[in-house]
Amino acid sequence: MREIVLDTETTGISAADGHRIIEIGALELVNHTPTGKKLHLYINPERSIEEGAFAVHGISLEFLADKPVFADIAEQFMQFVGDDRMVIHNASFDIAFINAELARLALPEYPMSRVVDTLAIARKKFPGAQVNLNALCRRFEINNSHRDLHGALVDADLLTEVYIELLGGRQQNLSLDEARTKHHGRQPAIDSLPDQSGFSIQRGAARFSRPHLPTEAESSAHENFLKKIEDPIWKR
User: Does 234 score more than 70 pLDDT?
Assistant: no
User: Does 108 score more than 60 pLDDT?
Assistant: yes
CA distance readout (Å), 6 to 26, 89, 90 = 4, 8, 11
Q: Domain limits of the chain?
A: 2-166
Strand partners, 115: 86
Cα 168 from Cα 121, distance rounded (Å) = 12
Active site residue 150: yes
The more confident residue out of 145 and 110 is: 110
For 114-173, what is each residue's pLDDT tens digit? 999 999 999 999 999 999 999 999 999 998 887 776 889 999 999 999 999 999 876 554
The more confident residue out of 215 and 54 is: 54
Sheet strands (E) in 153-199: 191-194
Cβ contacts of residue 29 below 8 Å, gap of 6+?
2, 3, 4, 5, 35, 87, 160, 163
Phi-psi sector, 32: left (phi>0), alpha (psi -120 to 50), beta: left
| Domain 2-166: assigned CATH number | 3.30.420.10
Amino acid 8 reads T
For the chain, give me the number of helices (H) and strands (E)? Answer: 9, 7
- The closest of 24, 211, 2 to 116, measured between CA atoms, is 2
- DSSP state at residue 21: E
Cα 164 from Cα 175, distance rounded (Å) = 14
Which residue among 150, 183, 212, 222 is the active-site one?
150
